[in-house]
């Protein structure tokens, strides 16, 4: 049994009268690829922001990398990587400048930044474009770069919020290769997605409906539990009763 | 400190890569300083005057030509009819009517007194006021001249001659530009500082990079310093370009006081102004909001700063507002240092108040900028 890196207990976030996330309880083990699924408006992003220290929860308990999400958000930030729905690299900086900047603000040593960034560029096959502005790259490349930058400082956990939105299937496949690579290095992956084929790649998935976690297990167990052949079907069975939506 | 270095490097890379911003930094001060002082000139010339001469005597013609020669008036032909002249006022073609009555010369000679009538178009109050004052003065002088001529050197001619000689200190030739250019320079530095700082931060909010920054261990004050320092440097640069490349060679503005005092004040002032920019950015979620907010405040700051209208002429409540306006203090400092050569001791209050502004706005901005919500 791997140590637990994320642990929540009845974690809740309210915005006024609206309960975005309602009493979610789950644990994530080190090195796991944890899929966080749910329809639009189910509260995935809110839950993730609480775990990243971007939002302070209303009630409940949670620790990330051993730190309390209420009081130790700055310590949490030193131990995680984050890739948001919105593309979050600087478009007016080059590939190399972005990597160096993020390495630098995480306090990496200059020598490490230099050697690791060259290594990364080689792995991403971006040697030709390393001095090009990020805005000139195709979306798929940008996403791969954004992920690599998010794990550049070797965090314990990386949070990915719909990282493959709008990306073609081939690039998505490559993207998941990068995720596996990171998981093999021992980085815990916490990922939200709308693609059910991607859900199959996860070790375990949780399904959120209207702010609550309705199911949590490995993809194969979930299919058994809901008597379905595909994850699509599982998702449909759970999410069709949702009251919230776009 | 290392984090700060990375932030500064990133910020400068972005600024120098943004061609629009670069043009703004260089061209804006040059253009504005070259154009605005020429326009913001309160000296009134070309006052349109319609002269209705019902006398048509040598004396009335002499008066007309004196007025024409003064250089302030443009005589408009109204065919010596008051009716037409009045229509011209109504159509805004004339600013003043001077009516010379019939038998003006005869009465001047016989009775030693004559009546002239002036009608003033007071829609543009400043022009009307200045116009009638000029005209009055010209007529008085004319009056004094003909009196000596008519009466000769008799006793009562000397009775009413009292002349005032004024000496203008600090701006010997009442050059309006020496007064305006330093003020406009202040306006520019304020504009560039507030806008650039506010827009830059809000842009990071808009494109979402700020969220990425917020999940990193960057400290709040490092991030804010990373934004303040580059724009502080740009502010000093814009000011120097304006002062040494435009104000001095083009308008002959020479700093009488100490440049060191001026720049020390500028350093503090810029921190205050950038604080306003930061504060605006923490309350806006997109660039439009930031622009509107900045526009709202800067408009009030400029209009109530004594740049265009003297503060002494404002009502008490307005004077009170100007005391809470940082721009007021810098304009004052500029005019005092540049024109009068005031030193640090004369400006102690200005320095203290501006330090207060800098602390106030920046503390508020940092307090309101949250990495978590």
Tell me: the pLDDT tens digits for A193-242? 888 888 889 999 998 888 889 889 998 898 888 888 888 888 888 878 77
Torsion angles phi and psi, residue A188, rounded to 5: -80, 135
Q: What residues of chain A lie within 8 A of the CB of B215, using their CB?
A: 52-54, 77, 80, 82
Smallest CA–CA distance from B214 into chain A, residue: A54
Contacts of A179 (CB under 8 A, 6+ apart): A33, A147, A160, A189, A191, A201
Picking from A16, A74, A88 by the largest number of B CB atoms within 10 A of its own CB, the best residue to mutate is A88
Give the CA diameter of chain B. Answer: 96
Tell me: pLDDT of A118 over 60. Answer: yes
Tell me: pLDDT of A190 over 90. Answer: yes
Least reliable range by pLDDT among A113-122, A169-178, B3-12, B81-90: B81-90
Residue predicted with more confidence, B24 or A55: A55
Q: How far apart are CA B156 and CA B189, in angstroms?
A: 60
Picking from B9, B10, B222, B225 by the largest number of A CB atoms within 10 A of its own CB, the best residue to mutate is B10
Superfamily holding B47-159: abc type-2 transporter like domain (3.40.1710.10)
Smallest CA–CA distance from A48 into chain B, residue: B215
Q: How confident is the model at residue B372 (pLDDT cuts 50, 70, 90)?
A: low
Tell me: pLDDT of B168 over 80. Answer: no
Predicted local distance difference test score (pLDDT) of residue B164: 67
Tell me: pLDDT of B2 over 90. Answer: no
Smallest CA–CA distance from B15 into chain A, residue: A92
Whether residues A105 and B216 touch (CB distance < 8 A) is answered with yes
Whether residues A91 and B207 touch (CB distance < 8 A) is answered with yes
Tens of pLDDT, residue by residue over B179-218, are 888 888 999 999 989 998 999 999 998 888 888 898 998 8
Picking from B2, B5, B6, B17 by the largest number of A CB atoms within 10 A of its own CB, the best residue to mutate is B6
Predicted local distance difference test score (pLDDT) of residue B162: 62
For chain B, what are the domain ranges? 2-40+172-368, 47-159
Alpha-carbon separation of residue A34 from A139, A193, A196 (angstroms): 24, 11, 14
Q: How confident is the model at residue A158 (pLDDT cuts 50, 70, 90)?
A: very high
Q: Minimal Cα–Cα distance from A43 to chain B, Å?
A: 16
Residue B81 tokens read as 């009819």
| Span B68-80, average pLDDT | 83
A70 near A239, Cβ under 8 Å?
no
- Whether residue A191 is contained in a domain is answered as yes
Residue A131 tokens read as 């001095």
Tell me: pLDDT of B113 over 50. Answer: yes
Three-state DSSP class for residue B11:
helix
Q: Minimal Cα–Cα distance from A130 to chain B, Å?
A: 16
Long-range contacts of A205-208 (CB under 8 A, 24+ apart): A205/A34, A205/A35, A205/A36, A205/A37, A206/A26, A206/A34, A206/A35, A206/A36, A206/A37, A207/A37, A207/A38, A207/A234, A207/A235, A207/A238, A207/A239, A208/A24, A208/A36, A208/A37, A208/A38, A208/A42, A208/A43, A208/A44, A208/A47
Tens of pLDDT, residue by residue over A53-65, are 889 999 999 999 9
Residue of A98, A107, A78, A209 lying closest to A144 (CA atoms): A98
Strand order in the sheet with A18-29: A18-29, A4-15, A59-64, A67-68
Q: Which of A77, A87, A101 sits opposite B10 (nearest CB)?
A: A101
Range of the domain at A232: 31-45+68-239
Tell me: pLDDT of A113 over 90. Answer: yes
Residue of B213, B225, B233 lying closest to B4 (CA atoms): B225
Smallest CA–CA distance from B11 into chain A, residue: A93
Picking from A105, A158, A190 by the largest number of B CB atoms within 10 A of its own CB, the best residue to mutate is A105
Contacts of B24 (CB under 8 A, 6+ apart): B192, B196
Three-state DSSP class for residue A32:
coil
Handedness of CA A107, A113, A116, A120 (dihedral sign): positive
Q: For chain A, how far is it from start to end, CA to CA, in angstroms?
A: 39
Whether residues A104 and B215 touch (CB distance < 8 A) is answered with no
Q: Which of A55, A88, A104 sits opposite B212 (nearest CB)?
A: A88
Whether residues A90 and B14 touch (CB distance < 8 A) is answered with yes
Whether residues B217 and A78 touch (CB distance < 8 A) is answered with yes
**Does the CB of B7 have a partner CB in chain A at under 8 Å?**
yes
- Whether residue A17 is contained in a domain is answered as no
H/E element, A20: strand A18-29
Q: How far apart are CA A53 and CA A157, in angstroms?
A: 13
B15 near B203, Cβ under 8 Å?
no
- Whether residue A23 is contained in a domain is answered as no
B356 near B268, Cβ under 8 Å?
no
The number of distinct structural domains making up chain A is 1
Q: Which of A88, A104, A106 sits opposite B208 (nearest CB)?
A: A88
Smallest CA–CA distance from B18 into chain A, residue: A92
- Whether residue A1 is contained in a domain is answered as no
Most confident of B26-30, B68-72, B105-109, B219-223: B219-223
How many CB pairs lie under 8 A apart between chains A and B?
73
Q: What is the CATH number of the domain that holds A142?
A: 3.40.50.300
Whether residues B373 and A53 touch (CB distance < 8 A) is answered with no
A175 near A144, Cβ under 8 Å?
yes
């Amino acid at each position: 049994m791997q140590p637990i890196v994320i642990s929540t207990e009845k974690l809740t976030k309210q915005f006024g009268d609206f309960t975005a996330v309602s009493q979610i309880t789950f644990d994530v083990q080190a090195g796991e690829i944890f899929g966080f699924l749910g329809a639009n408006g189910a509260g995935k992003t809110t839950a993730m922001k609480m775990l990243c220290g971007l939002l302070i929860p209303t009630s409940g308990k949670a620790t990330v990398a051993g730190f309390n999400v209420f009081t130790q958000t700055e310590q949490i930030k030193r131990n995680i990587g984050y890739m948001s729905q919105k593309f979050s690299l600087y478009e007016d900086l080059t590939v190399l400048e972005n990597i160096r900047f993020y390495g630098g603000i995480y306090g990496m040593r200059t020598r490490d930044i230099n050697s690791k960034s060259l290594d990364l560029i080689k792995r991403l096959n971006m040697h030709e474009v390393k001095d090009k502005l990020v805005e000139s790259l195709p979306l798929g490349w940008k996403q791969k770069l954004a992920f690599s930058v998010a794990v550049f400082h070797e965090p314990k956990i990386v949070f990915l919020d719909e990282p493959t939105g709008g990306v073609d299937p081939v690039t998505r496949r490559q993207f998941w290769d990068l995720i596996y690579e990171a998981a093999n290095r021992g980085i815990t992956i916490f990922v939200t997605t709308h693609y059910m084929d991607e859900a199959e790649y996860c070790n375990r998935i949780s399904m959120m409906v209207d702010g609550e976690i309705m199911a949590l297990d490995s993809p194969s167990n979930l299919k058994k539990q809901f008597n379905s052949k595909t994850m699509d079907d599982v998702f449909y069975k759970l999410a069709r009763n949702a009251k919230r939506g776009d | 400190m290392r984090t700060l270095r990375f932030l500064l490097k990133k910020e400068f890379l972005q600024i120098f890569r943004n061609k629009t911003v670069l043009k703004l930094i260089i061209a804006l001060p040059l253009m504005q300083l070259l154009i605005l002082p020429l326009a913001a000139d309160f000296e009134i010339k070309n006052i349109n005057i319609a002269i209705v001469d019902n006398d048509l005597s040598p004396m009335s013609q002499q008066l007309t030509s004196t007025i024409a020669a003064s250089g302030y008036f443009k005589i408009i032909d109204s065919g010596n009819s008051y009716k037409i002249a009045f229509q011209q006022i109504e159509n805004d073609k004339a600013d003043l009517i001077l009516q010379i009555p019939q038998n003006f010369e005869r009465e001047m000679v016989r009775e030693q007194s004559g009546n002239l009538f002036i009608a003033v178009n007071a829609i543009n109050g400043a022009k009307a006021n200045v116009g009638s004052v000029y005209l009055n003065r010209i007529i008085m002088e004319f009056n004094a001249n003909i009196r000596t001529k008519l009466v000769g050197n008799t006793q009562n001619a000397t009775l009413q001659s009292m002349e005032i000689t004024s000496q203008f200190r600090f701006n010997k030739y009442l050059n309006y530009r020496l007064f305006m250019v330093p003020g406009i320079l202040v306006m520019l530095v304020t504009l560039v500082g507030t806008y650039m700082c506010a827009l830059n931060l809000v842009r990071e909010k808009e494109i979402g990079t700020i969220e990425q920054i917020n999940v990193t261990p960057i400290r709040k004050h490092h991030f804010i310093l990373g934004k303040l320092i580059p724009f502080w440097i740009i502010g000093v640069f814009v000011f120097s370009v304006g002062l040494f490349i435009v104000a001095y060679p083009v308008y002959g503005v020479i700093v009488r006081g100490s440049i060191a005092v001026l720049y020390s004040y500028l350093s503090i002032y810029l921190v205050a102004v950038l604080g306003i920019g930061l504060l605006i950015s923490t309350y806006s979620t997109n660039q439009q909001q930031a622009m509107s907010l900045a526009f709202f405040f800067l408009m009030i700051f400029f209009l109530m700063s004594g740049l265009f209208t003297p503060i002494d002429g404002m009502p008490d409540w307005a004077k009170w507002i100007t005391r809470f306006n940082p721009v007021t203090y810098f304009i004052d400092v500029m005019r005092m240092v540049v024109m009068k050569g005031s030193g640090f001791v004369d400006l102690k209050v200005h320095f203290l108040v501006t330090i207060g502004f800098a602390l106030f706005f920046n503390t508020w901005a940092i307090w309101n900028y949250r990495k978590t919500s």
